[in-house]
Amino acid sequence: MKSITIQGTKRETVGKKSTKALRDAELVPCVVYGGAETLNFSAEEKSFKGLVYTPEAHTVSIEVDGKTIPAILQDIQFHPLTDKILHADFYQMSDDKPVVMEVPVALTGRSKGVVAGGAMRQSFRKLKVKALPGNLPDEIVVDVTPLKIGSKLYVGDIKTNNFTFMHPDNAVVVAVKMSRTAMKGGAVIEDDEDEEETVVEGEAPATEETSAE
């Protein structure tokens, strides 16, 4: 997995006053735990750009006082109004200790169901995996070509290599459904579902069918 470097400065003092002073200086209070001792440090907010504002997954090399700590981002807090980063938690990695992190799902191929006029719903843009640091995948590649209208692809259908999913096997990653409303040049789904999903529209008008999923 790709890694980015964040250069930090060890925090000699912690507390509300110290934290406020850091934020006023465009610095992010951070902590890394999981090692022999917990390390409090600060880093420039702009150094988080390649880690946070990207669909890709990365590990992190934290450089503080001449030392490099391999880590993963565990939690990050944003200001509710400005979206400025308020705090970041990291977990120190070791080669023999599994870690858990979210990895993006990459869809490949052209679904048979979409070609036939159906619409694809992607329930997971990222999947949580557990693996040794050296086995963390950059992405989870899923071939949707075989999926027909009414088909679903489950977590249990995806082959893994030296990592495990932290989701039940029956969790639906991708499904192809019949479109209820056909429009020229594509199909549109009109559904009452509240969950956020990525919809890929078909190129052929849909025909009405009655089937049980």
pTM above 0.85, yes or no: no
| Range in 12-16, 104-108, 196-200 the model is least confident about | 196-200
Q: Describe the chain by its helix, strand, coil percentages, rounded to 5.
A: 15, 45, 45
Tell me the pLDDT of the chain averaged across its residues. Answer: 85
Question: Which residues lie closer than 8 Å to 62 by C-beta, 6 or more apart?
Answer: 5, 6, 8, 32, 41, 68, 69, 70, 71, 90
| Pairwise CA distance, residues 72 & 113, whole Å | 38
What pLDDT, on the 0 to 100 scale, is given for residue 180? 65
Q: pLDDT tens digit string along 38-92?
A: 999 999 999 999 999 888 999 999 999 899 999 999 999 999 988 899 999 999 9
Q: pLDDT tens digit string along 12-26?
A: 888 888 888 888 898
Cβ atoms of 136 and 164 closer than 8 Å? no
Domains and CATH numbers, the chain: 3-93 (2.40.240.10), 101-200 (2.170.120.20)
| Pairwise CA distance, residues 135 & 174, whole Å | 24
